Structure 1
Amino acid sequence: MAKFRRTLLVATAVAAVASAQQQQQPPEDTTQQPEGLHALMLSAGKLYFGTATDVGNHNDEKYQAILAHQGEFGIITPENSQKWEVTEPRRNQFVYTTADTVAEKAQDNGHLLRCHTLTWHSQLPPFVSSGSWNASDLTDILTTHITNVMTHFKGRCYAWDVVNEALEEDGTYRESVFYEVLGDKYIPLSFKIAAQADPEAKLYYNDFNLETSPKKADGAERIVKLVRDAGERIDGVGFQGHLIVGQTPSRRALAALLSRFARLGVEVAWTELDIAHDFSSAASNGSSAANATQLEQQAADYVSVVGACLDEPRCVGVTVWQFTDKYSWVPLAFPGRGEPCLWTATYTKKPAYDAVSKLLREAAANKTGVSTSSAPTLPTPSSISGAAAALSRGGSGGALLSPLLGVVGGLMAMFVL
């Protein structure tokens, strides 16, 4: 009964706030805020189209103007500022300066927040990675970190990447301080701590190359079952989607992969999508800039990935790992690769952007996208409240109001019936 009252109150409040704010806001100037990817994604039946960002981009006015457009993005992920080496650089000394700045940016822009990441072998502070731990001590360290960080951001995160990149390419467990000391038990342990720290946030396992490595995908399925068999909660699997132009699997193959995990009863999402050109390949002839043919192929590859999400009801959305080549991590991490994003370094939309926009527009018009609302995993009440807050700040609020009220109406109807 308490849950019924809370849901009913949240639904009623969201509808009232959204209605009042719509009346107070002046008509949107659509010449200044053109229809964007997030608005189109909602129209196609999904929850969001988002991007990674971080404090290093905050003084770039052109970047911020695109980021702030709610029709373009509905959710943001802190690229680095929530990682362990930043949030707990020394044992029991927690620092949230940069992470709070990103969270506040999300709130100011009316975006949801996708939080990243808790238990990961990389970007650890020396006190964790270089320590000689027994199982009890490392469990205490893990418990303290996850509990403190998640409690600090409690109520602000749609989802957390609880465990990140725990697998090698052959599907075996990656050697890390956590695996060496605790074995594979560190994975369900992390989910147990996370569920206790923030019961409302979606809890994800997140990894790369699941799209291209069958054995690694097998390992990820094993992780979902491992967590479930331990009696712990896992809500989603994140497919990072760091792909290469011309080597991206087909839409059908990607949709089949997403569906494989959806059948396990978890939601799925593309969490770090970028599709880079390989300028070291023979086809590039020594060039470091994409030609028209390569841009067309990149567009087709982006359509395959986003289209796969449209085809799977439990796919909730797509997050790109930065939207402009100007701030992409790819050239630094992989010399010879580059230009992986939807915007150029000078903020021109690429053919890939146009192709994704066309895909989403057609899916909405022809009802070919499979609505996430048909899956049993809906946004939490706090997420719905966050969406209502987004609507109150203008941008594409008018375009987003109908989907929100549809969710509210569905919640009301469940309890009326």
Structure 2
Amino acid sequence: MHSSLVTFLLAFSALKIAAAAPHRPTGPRYLNSLAQDNGKLWFGTAADIPGTAEQTDKEYLRILENPKNFGEITPANMMKFMYTEPEQNVFNFTGGDYILDLAEKHGMRVRCHNLVWSSQLSDWVTSGTWTAATLTAVMKNHIQTLITHWGDRCYSWDVINEALAGDGTFSSSIWYDTIGPEYFPLAFQFAQEAVEQTGKDIKLYYNDYGLESPGNKTTAAYNLVRELQSRHIKIDGVGLESHFEVGGTPSIADQVAAKKGFLDLGIDVAITELDVRFVAAPYYTAAGEATQAQNYYDSVASCMEVGRGCIGVTVWDFDDKYSWVPSAFVGQGGADIYNDTLQRKPAYYAIAEALTGAACTVC
């Protein structure tokens, strides 16, 4: 056969194969690079390291440790009370040091998480017999020990996590039930004192879910910020967790409105725990993943729309293999931007498009 004819047939065959292949987005590849190129401090992820299979999963670590992928890491568990103060005034910094060392090795910031929460407390706290004065002393010692120990290795601290119920009242917790509503400003006061003692620039945040759109809880959070400011107590920002259900994410307009309410108070916001879960299997249908992609797009687009006051976006781990969702919500899953074999999902590409201001082509 004539060589020119062979060349023509091979080229024609390649065109047919390409035409038959399904469309798969190819770029842009690196979410943190895109976020930083477009005015954000980071695109980040939580990681449940050390002590889990993530610690030895080479493919997971290859993705996690690439600073083009992630410019920030949040320790999912290792800095919570039960791990950092397992016995009264006996502190364990090992787990926190591990993730800080990992982040610093790869040039990433760390949002340290968290100091005061109702859950994952040490047994000696939950089983103790406390007065307001004695539990306040426990809270002060815990907050100030951790902040002064790690200093500005922590970009910020979630001083209080999830203090509010859906109606905007304080949730029941050992802190609220024993100390009363004053525990909230006291925690931030103690954190401010510790930051001042270090002489470092460490940001102090309140972190919660259900603040992503206007409503009673969001209004209550605005009022907590105002109360701290009226007392000249440091608060630098609010973290909007953004744990959503596929098809149930607030609109871009509602998310923008909620964020602007905090920015108008002169503080920053960050999306801190973003995931979008399917409430029932199957998790990997084309239609379902397109809706999920739209939900991710809307959340990230809202951060972009309000400008630099929304400092960045963090997903609550990046792959379905290690997602917290199936253990917390039986029968639900598929919440992350990589699937359980660590392949990028349409949601990944939707985020990339939101970060650059492009229309969503995978939604």
Query: Do the structures match in fold with TM over 0.5?
Result: yes
Secondary structure at 1:71's aligned position in 2?
Answer: coil
Match of 1:332 among 317, 327, 331: 327
The residue correspondences of 1:162-181 to structure 2 (distance < 5 A) are: 162-181=159-178
Say if 2:213 and 2:255, in contact at 8 Å, map to a contact too.
Answer: no
Amino acid across the alignment from 2:323? S
Rounded Cα–Cα distance in structure 2 between residues aligned with 1:194 and 1:72: 31
1:110 counterpart = 2:107: yes
Letter in 1 for 2:32: H
* Conserved 8 A contact 1:169-1:213: no
User: Which 4+ stretches in 1 moved above 6 angstroms?
Assistant: none
Match of 2:98 in 1: 101
Q: Give distance in 2, aligned partners of 1:88 and 1:144.
A: 10
**Deviation of the 1:35 alpha carbon:** 4.1
Rounded Cα–Cα distance in structure 1 between residues aligned with 2:294 and 2:310: 20
Percent of aligned pairs with the same residue? 42
Match of 1:415 in 2: none
Q: CA deviation at 1:212?
A: 5.3
* Residue 323 of structure 1, aligned match among 312, 318, 325: 318
TM-score, length basis structure 2: 0.87
The structure having more radius of gyration, on CA atoms, is 2
The residue number in structure 2 matching 1:206 is 207
What is the SS of the residue equivalent to 1:80? coil
User: How far 1:34 moved relative to its partner?
Assistant: 7.6
Match of 2:338 in 1: 343
Query: Structure 1 residues 230 and 130 mapped into 2: Cα distance closer, same or farther (>3 Å)?
Result: farther
One-letter code aligned to 2:170? Y
1:195 aligns with 2:192: yes
Q: Is the 8 A contact 2:214 2:254 kept in 1?
A: no
Residue in structure 2 matched with residue 156 of structure 1 by the alignment: 153
Of structures 1 and 2, the one with the larger relative CO (CA 8 A, separation 6+) is 1
- Residue 261 (structure 1) aligned with residue 262 (structure 2): yes
- Which of 53, 59, 73 is equivalent to 2:56? 59
Distance 2:131 2:82 in 1: 21
Deviations 1:276-309 (Å, cap 9, x if unpaired)? 0111xxxxxxx43331101000000000000000
Question: Who is 2:125 aligned against?
Answer: 128
Q: Is 1:81 aligned to residue 75 of structure 2? A: no
Letter of the 1:237 counterpart: V
Q: State the alpha-carbon separation in 2 of the partners of residues 211 and 75 from structure 1.
A: 21
Q: Residues of 1 paired with 2:141 and 2:88: CA distance?
A: 9
Determine if contact 1:236/1:266 at 8 Å carries over to the other structure.
yes
Structure 1 unaligned spans of 5+: 1-32, 280-286, 364-417
- For 2:357 and 2:171, locate their aligned partners in 1 and report how far apart those are by CA, in whole Å: 42
- Find the aligned partners of 2:253 and 2:213 in 1 and give their Cα distance: 13
Question: Which amino acid in 2 is paired with 1:127?
Answer: W
Correspondence 1:310 to 2:308: no
Give the drift of 1:150.
Answer: 1.0
Higher mean C-alpha deviation, range 64-73 or range 134-143: 134-143
What amino acid is aligned across from residue 149 of structure 2 in structure 1?
Answer: H
Cα RMSD (Å) = 1.6
Instruction: Note if contact 1:167-1:216 (Cα within 8 Å) is conserved in structure 2.
Output: yes
Cα deviations by residue, 1:46-66 (Å, 9 ceiling, x for unpaired)? 111000012121101001000
Name structure 2 gaps, 5 residues minimum: 1-26, 359-363
Aligned with 2:288 (options 283, 294, 299): 294
- Report if aligned partners of 1:240, 1:270 keep a CA contact under 8 Å in 2: yes
- The amino acid of 1:307's aligned partner reads A
Question: Among 348, 352, 355, which residue is 2:350 paired with?
Answer: 355
- Partner AA of 2:236 in structure 1: D
CA distance in structure 1 between the aligned counterparts of 2:357 and 2:144, rounded to whole angstroms: 43
Partner Cα separation in structure 2 for residue 344 and residue 105 of structure 1: 24
Deviation at 1:213, TM superposition (A): 7.0
Q: Is the Cα contact below 8 Å between 1:277 and 1:290 reproduced in 2? A: no
Q: Aligned pairs, how many?
A: 325
SS of the equivalent of 1:338 reads: coil
Mapping 1:376-395, distance limit 5 Å: none
Once the two structures are superposed, what CA deviation does each residue of 1:78-120 show, in whole Å capped at 9, x if it has no partner? 0000000000011000011111111111011111111000011
Equivalent position SS for 2:43: strand
Match of 1:409 in 2: none
